[in-house]
Amino acid sequence: MRWRTLPRGARLAVIGAVSVALLAAAGLVAWRVLGPAEVVTPARKPYPGPVIPAPGPIGVLVSAPLVLDDRIRVYATKRQVWADAPPNFKYERSALWSLRRWPAQLVGVVAVGGDHPVVVSSWSDGELVGTDARTGEIAWQQRAETLGDAYTGRRTGASTVYQPPGLFTTDGAVVLAGPAHVTAYDPGTGARRWQQPAPAAPDCRGDDLTSAQQYLVHDTCTDTVRRLDTGTGTGLPDLGSGVTAVEPVTCAVGHSRCQGIRLTAPAAEGLLLTGLAADPSPPLATPGAVLAGGIAATAPDPAAVTRLDGRDPRTGDIRWNWQPAAGDTTPPPRLLTASGDRVLLLTPDHTLIAVSAESGKELSRTSLQLYYEPETAYDVAGFHTSGRYLVLVRTLPGAPVTAPDDDYYYSPRPVLLAAS
């Protein structure tokens, strides 16, 4: 029977059925594209072994890597956290594993190494996800306080992996400091170990950080530093009086596992964060002072180092000093940071100098200038060290942080990966 000879009612019924089928198909497509989704792409290769690089520049990257155990690099974008390897490759490589979530946005990432390495990511929908760094499989997932409603890492993801808001690690826990509570989780299982009301009210909360065994936050309403034992959640005695600023000293990443703290108060004060104690450290009161290998490294002018002193961190006694060689016409370097057993200096012409924390001897001096990049000045907006690895996030000189990415970053590949 032809279409034209069908009764009018039958034709309307056919049209209706086809319309419903098309709408259902369109809805299914829309759901698959726009509906909530969590896509895990596990590793297809074995967990790589550690790679210790030789001093010097390695390459340039678009995204800022979090180097874990000298084995993998972890990256962040708006809706994805992923890893590649080896860590000394000059560009990004195909993902070793990946976690992508929709429509949530990635807020922060931390990593815990060792025998059971895990990458923990915090998302805008309040999910806290632990990914097995060896396989890329989800090890655990917890509902937690939301630390932010949007991704803030810009093009490189640097702030998301190096300075995640409210997300920290200690020697044995992942600590989430939300608006209402501070909560500690077991990094291997995601089990909640303890939860306490936030020591400082949201409108009084200044800079916060962790050491190996403490969570510390600057209470701007009482001008003190409040503390929690991250093993039990028990409160510890407050630090300081009239504190106007808090500066973490030599942290593993961002504000996590910091070795010391510098307080700005009526008199500057440096403190060593050892165990549950906060021991006075006169050298750490010096602006720019860092800790490396149990030594405090100080300079009269950390922005232009003409002498670097290695001091006992408790007494201030000088153990060694470093000075540029006689006749060295290189502009004075800045005191950049400490990494393990060495102190790192960076000259204006992009030369990296590594000084032994044990002896004060110069371990290496290498130009970070790559032959295929322009020999122009840049600012360092952030950096990350892990073992011998050093990452510099490079920006155009004087560019404000509010500038668009194209007017802010040094180049389309603004992240320099190097080794000391």
Whether the upstream peptide bond of residue 46 has omega within 30° of 0, thus cis, is: no
The pairing of strands 362-367 and 379-386 is unpaired
Structural fold of domain 170-280: Thrombin, subunit H (2.40.10)
pLDDT at 24: 52
pTM of the model: 0.90
Amino acid occupying residue 324: P
Amino acid occupying residue 132: D
∠ at Cα 116 (417, 63), nearest 5°? Answer: 25
Q: For tokens 């500057």, name the residue.
A: 268
CA-CA-CA-CA dihedral for 203, 169, 230, 220, to nearest 10: -20
pLDDT at 40: 98
Domain boundaries, the chain: 170-280
Amino acid occupying residue 213: Q
pLDDT at 69: 97
Amino acid occupying residue 105: Q
> What length does the chain have?
420
Q: Which residues, listed in sequence order, are joined to residue 418 by a DSSP beta bridge?
A: 57, 390
pLDDT at 23: 57
Query: Tokens for 406?
Result: 């194209």
∠ at Cα 343 (167, 363), nearest 5°? Answer: 135
Question: Cβ-count burial of 119 within 10 angstroms (0-12 exposed, 13-18 middle, 19+ buried)?
Answer: buried
pLDDT tens string for the chain (420 positions)? 565 665 766 556 656 665 655 655 555 443 444 456 899 999 999 999 999 999 999 999 999 999 999 999 999 999 999 999 999 999 999 999 999 999 999 999 999 999 999 999 999 999 999 999 999 999 999 999 999 999 999 999 999 999 999 999 999 999 999 999 999 999 999 999 999 999 999 999 999 999 999 999 999 999 999 999 999 999 999 999 999 999 999 999 999 999 999 999 998 999 999 999 999 999 999 999 999 999 999 999 999 999 999 999 999 999 999 999 877 888 899 999 999 999 999 999 999 999 999 999 999 999 999 999 999 999 999 999 999 999 999 999 999 999 999 999 999 999 999 999
What's the pLDDT tens digit per position in 255-290? 999 999 999 999 899 999 999 999 999 999 999 999
HSE-up of 49 (CA within 13 Å, CB side)? 1
Measured distance CA(182)–CA(164) in Å, rounded = 15
Query: Tokens for 197?
Result: 């009301």
pLDDT at 343: 98
Q: Which residues, listed in sequence order, are joined to residue 64 by a DSSP beta bridge?
A: none
Measured distance CA(237)–CA(349) in Å, rounded = 46
Question: Cβ-count burial of 180 within 10 angstroms (0-12 exposed, 13-18 middle, 19+ buried)?
Answer: exposed
Measured distance CA(42)–CA(292) in Å, rounded = 37
Nearest Cα neighbor of 241 from 214, 218, 259, 261 is 218
HSE-up of 6 (CA within 13 Å, CB side)? 11
Q: How far is CA 308 from CA 9, 304, 344, 389, in A?
A: 93, 10, 11, 22
Contact 325, 293 (CB under 8 A): no
Q: For tokens 């698959």, name the residue.
A: 32
Q: Which are the contacts of 299, defined by CB distance < 8 A and separation ≥ 6?
A: 288, 305, 306, 307, 308, 309, 335
Measured distance CA(210)–CA(248) in Å, rounded = 9
